Amino acid sequence: MRIKLDENLPVSLVACLKRLGHDVDTVVEEQLGGSPDTDVWIACQREARFLITQDLDFSDNRRFRAGTHHGLLLLRLGSPGRQALLERITHLFGTEETDRWNGCFIVVSDRKIRIQRPDQH
């Protein structure tokens, strides 16, 4: 999977996701840190990348409707420290069928995963 990590995620996730076979880059690497969300979103779509973020500006599942993009994972952890984020994402990408997440709108909490697939409106 081609992934872009938003600037609100630990950079240590890059190595973890690459070890799992993913092509990963970050908003910061592309010098988009501090840029408007629309610029980040446009870059993800142009590069056909799945965005992983904690930014609530990406939480509107009508605006980011499944099937209209390359995929979006919004993390909503109770205590989103670096270690908790690293563990949750590493667990997700190590146990879930992430190869089926292209085009999906996904919200992940401490205990749940809600996936809206392109065929679900």
Cα–Cα distance for residue pair 64/72, rounded to 1 Å: 8
Digit-coded pLDDT (tens) for 7-56: 999 999 999 999 999 999 999 998 888 899 999 999 999 999 999 999 99
Write down the pLDDT at residue 33.
87
Residue ranges per structural domain of the chain: 2-116
Q: Give the pLDDT band (50/70/90) at residue 111.
A: very high
Distances (CA, A) of 69 to 8, 16, 47, 72, 95: 21, 24, 11, 8, 23
Please write the tens of the pLDDT for every residue from 51-109: 999 999 999 999 999 999 999 999 999 999 999 999 999 999 999 999 999 999 999 99
Helix 12-19 with 82-95: angle, nearest 10 deg: 10
User: Position 51: which residue type?
Assistant: L
